[in-house]
Chain A
């Protein structure tokens, strides 16, 4: 019975398939196993709804993290489908060799394992170890092309990511120290469910300092300005499936860690309110990234800045707090993951067929490659926040709740959104329309992941099923 526990499966499938994939040298077989393993992980994640296991000292499944886990495994699955067609092309052009692909597939599953472990961890130390593991796997994958740019990106990511992770560990130790006099020594003082019950008695000064370290540490991984420097490079220089997973998933996992600690702080009446700090960092990221969008020449780098922008909006929404803003933040996070990974699926095939990532060299996509081109148009329109797509709805909720509560904050928020909107549509115009340039060769793409995501985003913009709304509302109320 314990073997078939969905929680165990969510962790065991990626771990076992990572070991298996490390042994298989045929890339066709290993990409299929990768897809299959990701699918099975998704199924086990979904079955967590049916029978959530009770929390213990290491693992916790509650209404909050189940949303993250399902999103994580879903995008992990669709990305593995995209990855299968992407890497076949990389192998043909010789950018990757079969030996690297073996490594790539094993690392893909290690990364999924790390992220799933971070999401189900009830122990703040275990959560830290898991995020470190996921970071390590992505650093190695970002550097996989071994070009100058890829190595530079991986080195920068490694250095900044390690400093972030070191800060996060220091914050975790401080939380333990704050808990230790109240909860007692040992394992219990690191268990989140125990901490949240007793946190009101903790020393507020220690908690404050701890939260600063945790916010800076995990915030580096979320990609908040001014700690974002690794993010555009890592997105631009790694394989595109990894860009999709970084933007769609890893940023969320780090955000999840921030949210867990925010809940701890909020439950202690004497500690500083975590909201304003997050609001500030979120707004800085949003405004900074939306201006930076104008100056980008590399297509993947541009969408990486768009991820910083969106993480800014999401952190802002969670920082504002309250049922409406939290609900909007959750929705925005889900929609952003789906849309951004769909965009990267399109961009991956586009840059392969055109042989470049330079925006100036890609023109008239809707004529040369109508399906990909219109897919990209739909994705960018969605990410820019146009109705009737999902992101419009969540941004509308964030803006309207900000106007009603803090009208002054709405000014930078709305201007940041508009500036980013303008930049994206400006670039999209050049990419999708006009005189075609570059190769017109047909592309062997798997369109299913891209259009699957975009269809979900469209449906969510028009009609959100009531059970989902109720679930998100409930989670929003837990987040406080």
Chain B
């Protein structure tokens, strides 16, 4: 039954959008990190399922990277980091849950309208994957602007990037998917975890990005 295969692919991709929504309203960092881990695991499942139905064994590599790196290593590192930084009990809300959810619904509607219309002739798997992927991407962007904590912004960026991996997977036979996911993983691991958070912490005693704004150069 080929339709069942498609349905499961849609279920997983749709689940990713749902989890993106869940991330929008997490106001405590440990909970946010847990939801992000769920997001990554769901992405890995979705990519692995598509590797199976598309018969593209190299996609399993992408799935394994997503699962191991973003599903376990990064959340664990982040969890240890926020404990060491002493911000694991902080509560942060910049925009209320209601407005954020409404904006999120608007963005998902927008991406459905745009992507479903322009991809009328593409194959159904790629078509709905793209619509979901754009939703995840825009929700990640929304999350980045509604958070002011650097850890929250980084998680927003990583969820945005999950949307890109989903899009790349949906594009049948696209080369470089593995390379792209590796490149992204390096980007995240390299800058964010290793250097910035600790440097910012060292200088400001906080990872609240608002503290950075005070030091904008032009106000000298």
Binding site for B on A (CB under 8 A): 123, 125-126, 128-129, 132-133, 136, 139-140, 143, 146, 148-149, 151-155, 158-159, 162-163, 166, 169-170, 173-174, 176-177, 180-181, 185-187, 189-190, 203, 205-206, 208-209, 232-233, 236-237, 296-298, 301, 358
Contacts and interface: CB of A to CB of B under 8 A. Distances in A.
Given A128-B180, A177-B119, 15 more contacts: A125-B179, A129-B183, A140-B195, A152-B213, A152-B216, A159-B144, A162-B187, A163-B141, A170-B133, A173-B164, A177-B130, A177-B171, A180-B171, A206-B122, A296-B218
30 contacts: A125-B175, A125-B179, A125-B180, A126-B176, A128-B180, A129-B183, A136-B191, A140-B195, A143-B199, A155-B209, A158-B191, A159-B157, A162-B157, A163-B141, A163-B144, A166-B164, A169-B168, A177-B119, A177-B122, A180-B173, A181-B121, A185-B172, A189-B174, A190-B175, A190-B176, A203-B118, A232-B218, A297-B218, A298-B217, A301-B218
Nearest to A149: B217
Q: Which 3 A-B pairs have the closest CB atoms?
A: A185-B173, A148-B215, A205-B118
Among A153, A170, A205, the most chain B Cβ lie within 10 Å of the Cβ of A170
Interface SS of A by simple majority: helix
Nearest to A296: B218
A151 B212 contact: yes
A170 B164 contact: yes
B167 interface: yes
Interface residues of B, number: 49
Nearest to B119: A206
A456 to B, nearest CB: 31
B66 interface: no
A170 to B, nearest CB: 6
Contacts of B130: 173-174, 177
B185 to A, nearest CB: 12
B218 A155 contact: no
Contacts of B176: 123, 125-126, 129, 190
A186 B175 contact: yes
Contacts of B173: 180, 185-186, 189
A136 B179 contact: no
B203 interface: yes
A149 B215 contact: yes
